[in-house]
A and B are shown apart, each in its own frame.
Chain A
Amino acid sequence: MNSTPLGKRSVSSTPLLSRIRESRLFWPLAALAVILIFDAIFIPSFFRIGVQDGHLYGNLIDVLNNGAPLMLVAIGMTMVIATGGVDLSVGAVIAISAAMGAVLINPALGDRLVTNDILTKDATNTPLGVIVLVTLLAGTLCGLWNGLLVSRARIQPMVATLILMVAGRGIAQLITNGQIITIYYTPYFWFGNGFILGLPVSIYIVATVFAIAWWVTRKTPIGLFVESVGINPKATYYTGISEQNIKLLAYTFCGFCSAIAGLILSSYVHSADGNNNGLNYELDAILAVVMGGTLMSGGRFSLLGSVIGALVIWTFTLSMYTLGVPDKALLAGRAVLVLLVILLYSDQSRRLLNRLLDRKGAHHGAAD
């Protein structure tokens, strides 16, 4: 894209179109549009939004609500990838924080039979504020650990976070004593199932985290430092910027985002399962970030792009569900999505597409 000469752009008959095409958000938005158009043709019911008990419901709302954890993780992952790293442990961190929350609500439930007593009372051993705080802290500490391994111990990001990716599920099992803990504490369900002004609570959480991340990276120099570290860590260090602390911050923030995702997920499904909470989230999050226009090699990043990327993944998933595609086939369907995205993003196909579009433009010009 950078190879497009400046002169050409000014000569082009449709500067707006080409500017849109060169925008970082063009591709994720285009992907989203393609899926929505598909839905509009084949599953018109997908767009139906109803009102029930003053809450909005429908597939589109589900996309937002179900996609919220992935959007959060993608925001954190964007920061890590922008520094030139990657965090494979986000799924495990989700499991750890979910387990933490569930255990705080009732540490003994894993071993005990569920009695009517528990079901009728809103069973918790810990006040809600403490639960949320400790859950978030657990995930944040996981992120800090990753950050220390990468920035201080100088372990390659993929290897460093692989450690927690593997160990994290074990830790989550240890916390829940190997059981799937079911949660019976109603106030806790609010995060994953509650509504504010007709919209799911999770959406407000995503919006808040996004706003904070956007403000921190665009209104303070931290965003610039992150990009600089991702592009040329050595030169950044030579400029007097603590490249180590920037990386530490990015991984810690990613852990924090994963912790919120864990909170929402366990709240949504009313349980904590060390083995399955946040399974494959690392892969989806990386895909969302890459779709959003942030390069795996680090540098320039787009938080909004990553959020749209996460929306693409969930719109696709829910569309497939609505079409009645079975779970197993869904994975294959996703593989096709990944393949398409990678092909679309390769330099070669972009060049091809640009050439095609330019030629079309030229034809139009000749016809006029």
Chain B
Amino acid sequence: MADDQILVAMRGITKSFPGVAALEGIDFCLRKGEVHALMGENGAGKSTLIKILTGVEQPDSGVIELEGKAVQVRSPQHSQELGISTVYQEINLCTNLSVAENIMLGHEPRRFGAIHWKKMNSLASQALQRLGIDIDVTQPLGSYSVAIQQMVAIARALEILSAKVLILDEPTSSLDMHETTMLFNVMRRLKGEGIGIIFITHFLDQVYQIADQATVLRNGKLVGTFAIASLSRIELVALMLGRNVTELHAMSRARAETEHQEERATVAEASGLGLKGSLEPIDLKLHAGEVVGVAGLLGSGRTELAQLIFGITTPDSGSLLINDQKVERFSPREALRRGIALCPEDRKAEGIVGELSIRENIILALQARYGWFKVLNAQKQYEIAEKYIRLLGIRTPSADQLVKNLSGGNQQKVILARWMVTQPQVLILDEPTRGIDVGAKVEIQRLVLDLVKEGMAIIFISSELEEVLRISDRILVLRDRKKVAEYPGDVSDQTIMQTMAGEL
């Protein structure tokens, strides 16, 4: 390859984990002085690609070239020696050491065998000045903001590890506007010095502010690499979600619209409900027997909304009325009492109790509502479990099977069953179909529509727009932790994507 501007070239990178192909034949190319955005939804393969580049994982096949030479990145340490440095979202520095110590750690200048403090501090100051930062380097790192801490991490990467490739993994997720601008200034400066930057973010605006190129991944496959200047936002969103912009037309909605919205009772009403740093105040009305879809990219505040309503987090503004009663205490227990249910996004960590049986998992919430002493006898437990195993088509030899042995789709059905048993008024489904096969997806969607017919109000959160469109009566669009629009269910996905992308 004659192009001597190329810093990193990854060709045909393939990696599979037991049962899943995480990456399939990915090509990725980073030039000198370029900010290259890596885009994709959860599970697209971004982090796996970065792990391979930084030596955390080894690819099954494919080559990595660094400035034209094929290399094998053996470990994270080895990647640093090769000049590839990563600054993570969570800073991995020592906050109780001084700024200078953090920058120079392991490379302290010495005089007569002891650390030459004066020289160390001046070297550290210089390193920061290169980034245009002027602070007291003798102060402990912890006394500075996250933004400065990031700068320190970058300074260390450049000065001590003499990085040529800088990977910024969600660097702006905990920064405010001003700090983000500061970071971008530093990034521009580094660009000028010929450093290649890989920028991972889910803020579209920022991609358009700073990036030159974008590589889009979807489901472990390469969608393509595009010049940002010639790619509209809507096109980028469509690429990430895997939709063809030109063939966007309303698809048949399985839901027959028989009732009118006005006739339905309001079950839940949020007004100005918000939590600083998590979700900006939001208004939302939920009626019995309707599905409200929530669309938005990763990090747009979808899960935060679910957690606020269910009481995992406590809002610091606004109010939530359930059946015209104001919710005073926010906790899952209170939610259960009021008939709100949540199927959480992270099924493994927050949903299933793997070592318990299907029966025990299904009756868990009902038993929680009954309390410690009202006993649900074994016979009744089996009746309930077997009823829902049949109803939802959970594929298992018996109700005593451990849940951890089930497939993802069946685990999701168990969690659904757990909440259906409690007959909630409001059911929040956060990514209920993620990571499960197509057949089970359709079954779960159908189930949602059945529940709605019985009068349940459902909040349906999904990163798959098609799914949201198919089953929702109304669609709420979130962007950058804000509600930006609310559409009726027959809106075109063109409109939604434009709203998600910030063009409307």
Q: Report which A residues bind B (CB closer than 8 A).
A: 2, 6, 219-222, 224-225, 227-228, 231-232, 234-242, 299-300
A240 in complex: contacting residue of B350, B351, B368, CB < 8 Å: B368
Bound form: Cα–Cα A238–B369 in Å:
12
Could you tell me if A299 and B355 are in contact, using CB atoms closer than 8 angstroms?
Answer: yes
What residues of chain B lie closer than 8 Å to A221, measured between beta carbons? 367, 370, 372, 375-376
Contacts of B402 in A (CB 8 A): 2
The interface residues of chain B lying within 8 Å CB-to-CB of A242 are: 333
Residue pair A228, B364 in contact (C-beta under 8 Å): yes
CB nearest neighbor in B for A230? B355
10 contacts between A and B (CB under 8 A): A220-B372, A220-B375, A224-B367, A225-B368, A225-B372, A231-B354, A231-B355, A236-B364, A239-B365, A300-B355
What is the interface of chain A mostly: helix, strand, loop, or mixed?
A: helix
Distance from A283 Cβ to chain B, minimum over Cβ atoms (Å) = 26
Assess the A224–B355 pair: CB atoms within 8 A.
no
Chain B residues near A241: list those with CB within 8 A. 333, 364, 368
Q: Which residue of B lies closest to A297 (CB)?
A: B355
Q: How many residues of B contact A (CB 8 A)?
A: 31
Question: Is B309 among interface residues, defined by CB-CB distance under 8 A?
Answer: no
Closest Cβ–Cβ distance, residue B14 to chain A (whole Å): 29
Q: Considering only CB atoms, which chain A residue lies closest to B336 in the complex?
A: A240
B352 contacts across to A, CB distance below 8 A: 232, 235
A6 to B401, CA, bound (A): 11
Q: Are A240 and B332 in contact (CB under 8 A)?
A: yes
Measured CB to CB, the closest approach of chain B to A185, in angstroms, equals: 38
The answer to whether A238 touches B350, judged by C-beta atoms less than 8 angstroms apart, is yes
Tell me the residues in window 385-436 of chain B with beta carbons closer than 8 Å to chain A beta carbons: 397, 402, 418
**Within 8 Å of chain A (Cβ to Cβ): is B349?**
yes
How far apart are the CA atoms of A224 and B381 in the complex, in Å?
Answer: 12
**Told that A236-B353, A240-B335 touch, could you supply 8 new A-B pairs with CB distance under 8 A?**
A224-B367, A227-B355, A228-B353, A235-B351, A238-B351, A239-B365, A240-B332, A300-B355
**CB–CB B418/A239 < 8 A:** yes
Whether B41 sits at the interface, judged by CB under 8 Å, is no
Q: How far is the CB of B363 from chain A (nearest CB, A)?
A: 8
Hey, which chain A residues are within 8 Å of B332, CB to CB? 237-240
Q: Please name the residue on chain B nearest to A6 by beta carbon.
A: B397
Most B Cβ at <10 Å: residue of A221, A236, A239: A239
Contacts of B367 in A (CB 8 A): 221, 224-225
A222–B376 Cα gap in the complex (Å)?
Answer: 12
Q: Which residues of A contact B418 (CB under 8 A)?
A: 239
In the complex, whether B342 has a CB less than 8 A from a CB of chain A is yes
The chain B residue sitting closest to A236, CB to CB, is: B353
Which of chain A's residues have a CB closer than 8 A to the CB of B342? 238
Residue-wise interface mask of B (338-350) relative to A, using a CB-CB cutoff of 8 A (1 in contact, 0 not):
0000101000011
B17 within 8 A of A: no
- A220: chain B residues within 8 A (beta carbon): 372-373, 375
Q: Are B344 and A239 touching (Cβ within 8 A)? A: no
Q: Is there an interface contact between A235 and B349, defined as CB atoms closer than 8 Å? A: yes
User: Is B356 interfacial (CB-CB < 8 Å)?
Assistant: yes
Candidates A231, A234, A240; contact of B356 at CB < 8 Å: A231
How long is the Cα–Cα vector from A263 to B336 in the complex, in angstroms?
42
Q: Which 9 residue pairs are nearest across A and B when measured between Cβ atoms?
A: A240-B336, A240-B368, A241-B368, A221-B367, A231-B355, A240-B332, A232-B353, A240-B333, A228-B353
B360 within 8 A of A: yes
Inter-subunit contact B375/A235 (CB<8 Å): no
Collect the chain B residues with CB atoms within 8 Å of residue A235's CB.
Answer: 349-353
B353 touches A231 (CB 8 A): yes
In the bound complex, how far is the Cα of B351 from the Cα of A231, in angstroms? Answer: 12
Chain A residue contacts of B350, Cβ below 8 A: 234-235, 238
Residues of B within 8 A of A299 (CB): 355
Task: Give the residue among B333, B353, B364, B365 with the most A Cβ atoms within 10 A.
Answer: B353
Residue B491 interfacial (CB < 8 Å): no
Interface members, chain B 290-337 (any A CB < 8 Å): 310, 312, 332-333, 335-337
Residue pairs across A and B with CB atoms within 8 Å: the count is 71
What residues of B have a CB within 8 angstroms of the CB of A2 in the complex?
A: 402
Interface centre among A222, A235, A237 (most CB of B within 10 A): A235
> With A232-B354, A235-B352 in contact, is A224–B372 under 8 Å at CB?
no
A240 to B370, CA, bound (A): 11
B349 A240 Cβ-Cβ under 8 A: no
Cα distance A227–B403 when bound, in Å?
A: 14
- Which single residue of chain A is at the shortest CB-CB distance from B355? A231
What's the Cα separation between A262 and B357 when bound, in Å?
38
CA distance A232 to B372 in the complex (A): 19
Chain A: minimal CB distance from B210 (Å): 36
What separation, in Å, do the CA atoms of A238 and B376 have in the docked complex? 20
> CA–CA, A219 to B402, complex, Å?
21
- Bound complex: CA A228 to CA B360 (Å): 9
Q: Specify which of A219, A220, A221 lies most central, judged by the most chain B CB atoms within 10 Å of its CB.
A: A221
Given known contacts A235-B349, A241-B333, A224 and B364 CB-to-CB distance under 8 angstroms: yes
B375 and A219: CB pair below 8 A? yes
Min Cβ gap B342→A in Å is 7
Whole-angstrom CA separation of A221 from B375 in the bound complex = 6
Determine the distance from Cα of A210 to Cα of B453 in the docked complex, in whole angstroms: 49
Which A residues are CB-close (under 8 A) to B349? 232, 234-235
**What's the Cα separation between A242 and B367 when bound, in Å?**
12
Whether A222 and B372, one on each chain, are in contact in the complex, defined by CB atoms closer than 8 angstroms, is yes
Closest beta carbon of chain A to B349's beta carbon, Å: 6
B403 to chain A, nearest CB (A): 10
**A221 CA to B402 CA, complexed, in Å:** 18
- A345 nearest CB across to chain B (Å): 17
- How far is it, in angstroms, between the C-alpha of A6 and the C-alpha of B352 when the chains are bound? 23
Q: Which residue of B lies closest to A232 (CB)?
A: B353
| A219 and B335 alpha carbons, distance in the complex (Å) | 26
Specify which chain A residues have a CB less than 8 angstroms from the CB of B369 in the assembled complex.
240
Residues in A neighbouring B368, C-beta threshold 8 A:
225, 239-241
Give the residues in chain B near A236, CB-CB below 8 Å. 353, 364
Q: How far is the CA of A232 from the CA of B356 in the complex (A)?
A: 10
CA–CA, A225 and B344, complex, Å: 19
User: Which residues in B have their C-beta under 8 angstroms from that of A232?
Assistant: 349, 352-354
CB distance from A16 to the nearest CB of B (A): 19
Kindly provide the distance from the CB of B254 to the nearest chain A CB, expressed in whole angstroms. Answer: 29
Query: Closest residue to A298 on the B side, CB-wise?
Result: B355
Q: Which residue of A is nearest B343, CB measured?
A: A238
A170 to chain B, nearest CB (A): 32
Task: Report the bound CA distance from A150 to B376 in whole Å.
Answer: 29
Name the A residues within 8 Å of B344 (CB-CB): 238
Interface centre among A6, A219, A232, A240 (most CB of B within 10 A): A240
Binary contact readout B77-94 vs A (1 if CB under 8 angstroms, 0 otherwise): 000000000000000000
Q: How far is the CA of A177 from the CA of B351 in the complex (A)?
A: 52
By beta carbon, the residue of chain B nearest A241 is B368
Least distance between A213 CB and chain B CB atoms (Å): 14
Q: Closest A-chain residue to B340, C-beta based?
A: A240
Question: What is the distance, in angstroms, from B322's C-beta to the closest C-beta of chain A?
Answer: 15
Alpha-carbon distance A300/B354, docked complex (angstroms): 11
Knowing A221-B370, A234-B350, A238-B350, say if A227 contacts B333 (CB, 8 Å). Answer: no
**Which residues does chain B contribute within 8 Å of A219, judged by CB atoms?**
375
How far does the Cβ of B75 sit from chain A's closest Cβ, in whole Å?
A: 28
Chain A's nearest CB lies how many Å from the CB of B19? 17
In the docked arrangement, what's the CA distance between A188 and B250, Å? Answer: 84
Interface flags for B140-170 (1: CB within 8 Å of A; 0: not) read: 0000000000000000000000000000000
Give Cα A234–Cα B349 distance, bound, in whole angstroms. 7
Give the distance in Å from the alpha carbon of A227 to the alpha carbon of B367 in the complex. Answer: 14
Nearest to B373 among chain A residues (CB) is A220
A5 to chain B, nearest CB (A): 11
